[in-house]
């Protein structure tokens, strides 16, 4: 296992149970996310990957178990304490989630204006330096509708890092990107993680990209962690759960069809 994958965990998830109605999304899950590395959370659609990010950031509370970030019990924090912890976090949402009525500059400036009392000249310098880091200082005056998908994702990344977070969470950052934009985003994630000494968590189901960028990978399915290790270790893992996901197999522990009534009987009942 790589050094970063086995490094001291800064995010600890212990015996986590999270339920929606009668369905257990997580069933006594344990996860350690090492400080300073890039950890990927993978799994089939609907397995709760985005839900896990919401539990780590305190948007949701577990049914039981514990989530600790840098020693802090997230679910037990008071509002002010949780707010202070979130100030140490950056989040890149699915599809970027830019504010459509603000230009690129103002999108990136938004969290700075919201959470600090910096002068306008300092805000301007900070935003322009951050846009320069993602290669989009020249797009500062453009509106989100004028951006390509890859550019919009990079602007969202600039907004996520402009406050200098210690932790950054990416929710499906590679979806819908062309190969050039995908390569740019992957390189940015790596470079920012190294340059800013971030602890990075990526939720994705893109096996090839995760193998390229992640130090450590967790594979979640059916409410459980079914595998953990470096991308290379998961490639060598012969578990049928791992092989079905990594190789894109239809047949395996994860069914293609959701459970339902007998198919033939359903057709007959429809005709009747």
For residues 82-108, average pLDDT: 89
Q: Which of 39, 53, 42, 46 is nearest to 206 (CA)?
A: 42
Determine the CATH number of domain 9-271: 3.40.50.300
Question: What is the band of 128 on the pLDDT scale with cuts at 50, 70, 90?
Answer: very high
Tell me, what DSSP letter sits at residue 71? T
Choose the weakest-confidence range: 50-54, 154-158, 233-237: 233-237
For residues 96-114, average pLDDT: 90
* Cα(254)–Cα(229) distance, integer angstroms: 21
Higher per-residue pLDDT: 272 or 164: 164
Q: Scan for tokens 């212990």, then name that residue.
A: 14
CB atoms inside a 10 Å sphere around CB 12: 16
* pTM: predicted TM-score of the whole model, two decimal places: 0.84
Q: Which of 216, 160, 207, 211 is nearest to 188 (CA)?
A: 160
Q: Where are the domains of the chain?
A: 9-271
Higher per-residue pLDDT: 35 or 1: 35
């Amino acid at each position: 296992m790589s050094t970063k994958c086995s490094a001291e965990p800064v995010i600890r998830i212990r015996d986590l149970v999270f339920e929606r109605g009668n369905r257990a999304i997580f069933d006594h899950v344990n996860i350690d996310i090492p400080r300073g590395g890039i950890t990927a959370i993978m799994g089939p659609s609907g397995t709760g990957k985005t839900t896990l990010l919401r539990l780590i950031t305190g948007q949701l509370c577990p049914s039981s178990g514990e989530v600790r970030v840098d020693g802090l019990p997230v679910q037990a924090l008071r509002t002010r304490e949780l707010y202070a912890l979130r100030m140490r976090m950056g989040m890149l949402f699915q599809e970027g989630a830019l504010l459509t009525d603000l230009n690129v500059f103002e999108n990136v400036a938004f969290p700075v204006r919201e959470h600090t009392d910096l002068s306008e000249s300092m805000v301007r310098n900070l935003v322009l330096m951050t846009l320069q880091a993602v290669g989009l200082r020249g797009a500062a005056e453009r509106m989100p509708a004028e951006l390509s998908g890859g550019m919009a994702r990079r602007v969202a990344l600039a907004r996520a890092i402009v406050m200098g977070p210690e932790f950054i969470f990416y929710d499906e950052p590679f979806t819908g990107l062309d190969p050039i934009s995908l390569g740019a985003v992957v390189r940015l994630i790596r470079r920012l993680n190294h340059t800013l000494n971030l602890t990075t968590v990526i939720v994705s189901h893109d096996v090839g990209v995760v193998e390229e960028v992640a130090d450590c990978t967790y594979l979640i399915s059916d409410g459980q962690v079914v595998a953990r290790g470096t991308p290379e270790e998961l490639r060598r893992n012969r578990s049928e759960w791992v092989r079905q996901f990594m190789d894109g197999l239809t047949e395996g522990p994860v069914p293609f069809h959701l459970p339902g009534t007998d198919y033939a009987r359903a057709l007959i009942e429809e005709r009747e």
